[in-house]
Amino acid sequence: MHEMTTSLALAGELLARGDSQLLAIVLLSLRVSLSATLLACLIGLPLGALLAVGRFPGRRTLIVLTNGLMGLPPVVVGLLVYLLLSRAGPFGQFGLLFTPAAMVIAQTILIVPIVAALARQVIEDAWREYREQLRSLGASRIRSARTLLWDGRFSLTTAGLAGFGRAVAEVGAVMIVGGNIDGVTRVMTTTIALETSKGDLPLALALGLILISVVLLINIAAFLLRQWAERRWG
Amino acid sequence: MNLFRQSLAALCSASVLFASGVQAQERFITVASTTSTEQSGLFGQLLPVFEKESGIKVRVVALGTGQALDLARRGDADVVFVHDKVAEEKFVAEGYGVKRQEVMYNDFVLVGPKNDPAKATGKDILEGLRRVETSKAAFVSRGDKSGTHAAELRYWKAAGVDLETKKGSWYKDTGSGMGPALNTAASMNAYLLADRGTWLAFKNRGDLGIIVEGDNKLFNQYGVILVNPAKHAHVKKADSQKFIDWVVSVPGQQAIANYKIGGEQLFFPNATN
Amino acid sequence: MSWLQLDKLELTEGDIRIIDAITLKVGAGRTVILGPNGAGKSTLLRLMHGLLRPSAGKVLWPQALTQGMVFQRPVMLRTTVLANVAYGLTLQGIGTEERRQRALSALARVGLADFAARPARRLSGGEQQRVALARVWALEPQVLFLDEPTASLDPASSREVERIIREIAGTGTRIVMTTHNLGQARRIAEEVIYLEAGRMLEQSPATTFFKQPQTAAARCFLQEEIP
């Protein structure tokens, strides 16, 4: 409890000071995880939509697989990406290991299943409502997927958010592929891990509170967006 | 639907911008080092001096000694800076490293509960460890192929304790870095072999204090090695050599000696040019 | 001159014969399908339009005709009324300006020109159904299927929608409609197809059907249904 109050005070002080190191760490966390979320949406939203409206061999298997991969352990993804990007690995020549790009890649892989699975659910529900009318108007399956993706754009922000939440909060993947290098690949979660290792628990906790606040703020913004959208577009 | 295509285009460009923006374009080398060096705060003080002088950024990936050497074997680092002479010499002998040079030393200390239930206090590490084993007092091991772990195992052996048979629930093999291991030891009031640097910088000591120190055997030597460009052509040979040369030269050695916590020096430079 | 033929059409699901060997020819301009609940009216409509595939038998179109369909519950996309009406045209790849013009004029025909910029899903049920009609009308289909188009609407909206349907029929579009509303059926139908339990029991010109139904089942039905 005492640690909690110390941490709250510390968090407040760090924020008030506008500590430049802290700012850099927070900004990097946001850039890495937002990039990963954008990429994961580019891949996962169409994938989810196709899984929802498509009819092709292996569809059921792919759905089960996508759902299952939602639970990918971040540390395992980190290990796999590390092996791929290591100089001794197939993509070593790009020199991506221990850079933010590697972190973006790892997090993207981690959250594509989440985005795809949630998108599939949203689109599937919409498909049930729209299916006959869209077919009657002459929309192909692929065209329908496009239409439903746009139509469901507000619900799909939930999918994107879920992905972002998972990405910004994980430490296993970015620790391994990023290396937690000071000033280069150090993000909020790896800093928390480091400060905990050094025994500086109040600082670690303070950073944790800041991380939670960031995530909360983004979730509130998205909630308000959905509220507005519901009222405006129905 | 035009709006859809516009959003798609915006999404794509945003992703590319974000992703490429996070790639820094700067002159740097990658040094694989140990958690004890990192967490003692030495690099925080040492590297800015070198970076200012040379314009070369040093990116440190901090792992255990064993992991750092494995990383270098795969070619994912340009330099290793670790503390396990036997493993380092093997690394060079296998052709992965060019030359091993000594840089600095510090010492290990046996930390444990201040009330010392095993009565291990003293200047003899081997005797201290024997007493810990005899009393089956809780002991935390790093268990992670680190320099500290390797040293710990050597001490047990030298003390005549066969861990394989004597290991019991008192011996906690955590497989973790120095900091986490200290956290664990502090929370369960256990004994632990630590390097003095990390110990001095560590803030969550609980009821732990230094139990054994000053034994010559606790001497802990650090070495620096250039990863062999013959094995990994992409190694940044020139810049890495600059770093190594600087670290073993007067300014580097001085910077090492200058690093203190609470007025106490952590590392003692001992490079021989 | 029949423009649609059903040949021994069947739809089976598991053990249930939803549509049981229906053979008929549609030649009228305005055909209404009547029958009790569960008779298979909606299913038959969907088979005709191609939304369902028969288990046996054929749906034959002697001349290929363009088709459209309006459902009991109007399906509105989360966009403006105008965008909804233009959607079918977008699918056909029609250019932006022409699309806009055709959509606006279809909207005007259903009396909703002022609603063009409104979010479609915020409209009342009756208004949405009119938008649905405008959407399909903009495509100028040669055949329009309607599945209980006024069943979910209040009387005023119902009448307005009915007026639009009659106007569409007036332009030469062939109508095939199901309804529970006998008054509506009387007002619209040229020909009636009467279904019961998946079988077609009677097909007659409207005047005949309502005055003197040929089958006992149809007679029973007419007596019991609320006009």
Q: What is the pLDDT of residues B29-79, one digit of tens each?
A: 999 999 888 888 899 999 999 999 999 999 999 988 999 999 999 999 999
- pLDDT per residue over C160-180, tens digit each? 999 999 999 999 999 999 998
Q: Which residues pair with C68 in a beta bridge?
A: C144
- pLDDT per residue over C78-88, tens digit each? 999 999 999 99
Say whether A129 and C91 touch across the interface (CB within 8 A): no
Q: List CB contacts (< 8 A) between A149 and chain B.
A: 4
Say whether A232 and C119 touch across the interface (CB within 8 A): yes
* Options 1.10.3720.10, 2.40.50.100, 3.40.50.720, 1.10.260.40; CATH of A2-229: 1.10.3720.10
Instruction: Work out the angle at residue A123's Cα, subtended by the Cα atoms of residues A117 and A125, and round it to the nearest 5 degrees.
Output: 105
- To probe the interface with B, which of A21, A35, A150 has the most B CB atoms within 10 Å? A35
* Cα(A139)–Cα(B156) distance, integer angstroms: 75
Say whether A137 and C87 touch across the interface (CB within 8 A): yes
Is residue A21 scored above 90 in pLDDT?
Answer: no
Supply the pLDDT for residue C185: 94
Supply the pLDDT for residue B1: 45
Yes or no: say if A223 and A155 are a contact pair by the CB < 8 Å rule: no
From-to residues of CATH 3.40.190.10 in chain B: 27-105+222-269, 107-218
- To probe the interface with A, which of B22, B23, B39, B148 has the most A CB atoms within 10 Å? B22
**How would DSSP label each residue in B197-221?**
HHHHH----TTEEEEE---GGGEEE
Supply the pLDDT for residue B22: 45
To the nearest whole Å, the CA of C122 is away from the closest chain A CA by 6
Supply the pLDDT for residue A181: 93
- A to B CB pairs, distance under 8 Å: 101
Three-class SS state of B82: strand
Strands B97-113 and B264-265: unpaired
- A to C CB pairs, distance under 8 Å: 51
* Cα(B62)–Cα(B71) distance, integer angstroms: 11
List of residues 6+ apart from A151 with CB closer than 8 A: A126, A130, C77, C78, C79
Three-class SS state of C189: coil
Say whether A42 and B30 touch across the interface (CB within 8 A): no
* Cα(A144)–Cα(A132) distance, integer angstroms: 11
Give the dihedral of Cα atoms A179, A184, A187, A190; nearest 10 deg.
30
Say whether A197 and B183 touch across the interface (CB within 8 A): yes
List of residues 6+ apart from B182 with CB closer than 8 A: A199, B111, B192, B194, B198, B199, B202, B204, B205, B208
C125-138 and A100-137 helices, crossing angle to 10°: 80
Instruction: Work out the angle at residue B132's Cα, subtended by the Cα atoms of residues B129 and B133, and round it to the nearest 5 degrees.
Output: 90
Mean pLDDT for B92-112 is 95
Element (H, E) at C135: helix C125-138
- CATH no., domain B107-218: 3.40.190.10
Three-class SS state of C68: strand
Mean pLDDT for B229-233 is 94
Using pLDDT thresholds of 50, 70 and 90, give the confidence band for residue B104.
very high
Is residue B93 scored above 70 in pLDDT?
Answer: yes
* Cα(A188)–Cα(A207) distance, integer angstroms: 7
User: Does the CA dihedral A35-A38-A44-A48 come out positive or negative?
Assistant: positive
Classify residue A54 as exposed, middle or buried by CB count within 10 Å of its CB (0-12, 13-18, 19+): middle
Supply the pLDDT for residue B26: 85
CA distance between the termini of chain A? 46
Using pLDDT thresholds of 50, 70 and 90, give the confidence band for residue A200.
confident
* Cα(A29)–Cα(B263) distance, integer angstroms: 35
Of C49, C77, C121, the CB nearest to A136: C49
Which residue from B minimizes the CA distance to A28? Answer: B22
The pLDDT tens digits along chain C (227 residues) read: 899 999 999 999 988 999 999 999 999 999 999 999 889 999 999 999 999 999 999 999 999 999 999 999 999 999 999 999 999 999 999 999 999 999 999 999 999 999 999 999 999 999 999 999 999 999 999 999 999 999 999 999 999 999 999 999 999 999 999 998 899 999 999 999 999 999 999 999 999 999 988 888 898 888 876 55
Closest alpha carbon to A184 in B43, C110, B189: B43
Yes or no: say if C190 and C29 are a contact pair by the CB < 8 Å rule: yes
Of A130, A143, A234, the CB nearest to C75: A130
* Cα(C181)–Cα(C86) distance, integer angstroms: 30
Classify residue C171 as exposed, middle or buried by CB count within 10 Å of its CB (0-12, 13-18, 19+): exposed
Instruction: Give residue ranges of C with CB < 8 Å to any A CB.
Output: 46, 49, 51, 67-69, 71, 75-79, 87-88, 91-92, 119-122, 132, 135-136, 139
Distances in whole angstroms, Cα of residue B238 to Cα of each of A181, B64, B73, B79: 22, 26, 19, 11
Using pLDDT thresholds of 50, 70 and 90, give the confidence band for residue B9.
low
Predicted structure pTM score: 0.88
Is residue A9 scored above 90 in pLDDT?
Answer: no
Running DSSP on this structure, what letter comes out for residue B271? -
Q: CATH fold of B27-105+222-269, please?
A: D-Maltodextrin-Binding Protein; domain 2 (3.40.190)
Of A133, A138, A143, the CB nearest to C75: A133
* Options 2.60.40.10, 3.40.50.300, 3.40.630.190, 3.30.70.600; CATH of C1-64+176-227: 3.40.50.300
Say whether A198 and B203 touch across the interface (CB within 8 A): yes
